[in-house]
Structure 1
Amino acid sequence: MHLQPALLLLLSALTTASNLPSPQHIFSNPPSDTPTRRIPSVHESAVQARRILHLETLGTLSTIFPSAHSAEHRPSDVSGAPIGLMDYFGDCEPRTGKGNPTILAISIATSFKNVAAGSNITLSLRWHPPSHRPVSAAALPRFSLVGYLEELSAAEVQDQRVVACFVKYHPDAVAWLPGNRIHESKWVRLVVQEVYWIGGFGDRAYIGWIPLDEWQSVTEHEIDDIRLPGENTHSWGA
């Protein structure tokens, strides 16, 4: 990405005034030989991401409109276009497992209709700190999970106590649990295949892909022990 000279000057002024990173390190990590504060490792970043997955409850599901004709009177020029929509999720699988978020899929919802028509899907999350201390949103972690949806079996729903877990995250979702009289719904997991992470500004946070084995190897103890920016102690880059 190339920034215009005027924007570079503005960013340089803001850097001096408010301790923001230098312009060239906003969107990427500095070279390894550049003196800077310690940047969290890939595994440490995976731990942060797994804690965000555990604490947050809302994300953005991104899918692509199919090119086939639809009965919903969709504009013809959106075929093949991406759309991102808010949806509920819960960290309802064993935390020593693979880190696949649980989703209550409503069949009539656009995201799930697009998936049924063959679309890829991603879930994007960002950290919302509980602290009211002013902070740049660009300095806070966010990431996207790339994968596919897989329906949970009745045994998995029961053994993992999915209903109780999900309703704890989303009490209002009790109105559209599977078997409700309003909409057809089912329990699915987003099977994570790739993780793209932006930990904040590039001079103090890792930006890049988190390998799947790092994502899946995070332990429950690590998730409980780490603190994110705005969460008291043990946070990186706060």
Structure 2
Amino acid sequence: MYFVAALALLAGLSAASRLPSTQHIFSNPTSNDESMNRIPTVHESAVQARRILHLENIGTLSTIFPSTHSAENRPSDVSGTPIGLMDYFGDCEPSTGNPTILAISIATSFKNVAAGSNITLSLRWHPPGHHRPFSPASLPRFSLVGYLEELSPEDVVKQSVAVCFVRYHPDAAAWLPGNKIHESKWVRLVVEEIYWIGGFGNVAYIGWIPVEEWKSVTKEEIEAIRLPGEKKHRWGH
């Protein structure tokens, strides 16, 4: 038994000796350093987040149940409880970074907002095809904190919102405003705060991204970078 324990200890020490240095956690190399362990800057992380917003189309809307209700048979003990539900979004206002959402009035998330709840949209990156990593925890994800604002008829026409959204979600054509199934309207999530987890902390930035950084990202920056799993992505995991 002692011999087995000693072998296990030696194996552990051997494995530990092959681990990369943690020094880069405390001193980030310059942007000219080609090391795969360089931690992206806050702005680089904002660019990654904006690319995820552009490429993904499904996220999780989180809201809070109101303290009172009368429109449905809801357990009384869920009052004040948060709930996260899948929903569609589209990057149909790329100049602002505010995601576009088709708000279905009967849906729980939008009923909670109408009752006074705040709201967040959480996204995560899904690499294409077979480029899935061993650990999904190594992939970037983030949450957008803000509030819903209805789009004006002028905004809808000027920005071709319906065309953009249906390009992301062809099935949503059945639920566009004016449909005979559900009452719906176009809204934007006005982004006020961004919380970002770029992956494991030894190679990725984790923390808040100022909204000014989020808004300052350009179309050219979004098109120039690559996320983990895309060809020639810039930051390895």
The interval holding the TM-score normalised by the smaller chain is 0.7 to 0.9
> What are structure 1's unaligned runs of at least 5 residues?
1-12
Partner of 1:167: 166
Cα distance, 1:98 vs structure 2: 1.9
Q: Which residue of 2 aligns with 1:176?
A: 175
Change (3 A) 1:110 1:21: farther
CA distance in 1, matches of 2:203, 2:149: 36
When residues 204 and 33 of structure 1 are mapped into structure 2, their CA distance, relative to the original with a 3 A threshold, is closer
- What is the CA–CA distance in structure 1 between the aligned matches of 2:146 and 2:181, rounded to whole Å? 28
Q: Deviations over 1:115-139 (max 9, x none)?
A: 0000000000000000413411000
1:107 corresponds to which of 105, 108, 114 = 105
Counterpart of 2:188 in structure 1 is: 189
Aligned residues: 217
| TM-score, normalised relative to structure 1 | 0.85
Relative to structure 1, is the Cα distance of residues 45 and 66 closer, same or farther in structure 2, using a 3 angstrom cutoff? Answer: same
Deviations 1:118-175 (A, max 9, x none): 0000000000000413411000000000000000000000000000000000000000
Match of 2:79 in 1: 79
Deviations 1:207-237 (A, max 9, x none): 0000011000000000001000000113312
Q: Greater CA radius of gyration, 1 or 2? A: 2
SS at match of 1:98: coil
**Alpha carbons of 1:36 and 1:191: their partners in 2 closer, same or farther (altered >3 Å)?**
same
Tell me the equivalent position of 1:154: 153
User: In 2, distance between residues paired with 1:149 and 1:235?
Assistant: 34
- Given the alignment of the two structures, is residue 31 of structure 1 paired with residue 26 of structure 2, yes or no? yes
Query: How far apart are the structure 1 equivalents of 2:234 and 2:121?
Result: 24
Cα deviation digits, residues 3-61 of structure 1 (max 9, x gap)? xxxxxxxxxx6xx49x8889x9xxxx943489992100000000000000000000000
Q: 1:21 to 1:51 in 2, by over 3 A?
A: farther
How much identity, in percent, do the aligned residues show? 75
- In structure 2, distance between residues paired with 1:218 and 1:64: 31
2:96 counterpart letter in structure 1: K
Cα 1:232–1:107 change in 2 (3 A) is: same
Cα RMSD (Å) of the superposition?
2.4
With the length of structure 2 as denominator, give the TM-score of the two structures: 0.86
Query: Which residue number corresponds to residue 69 of structure 2?
Result: 69
Instruction: Tell me, yes or no, if structure 1 residue 50 matches structure 2 residue 45.
Output: no
Q: Among residues 131, 134, 145, which one is paired with 1:133 in the alignment? A: 131
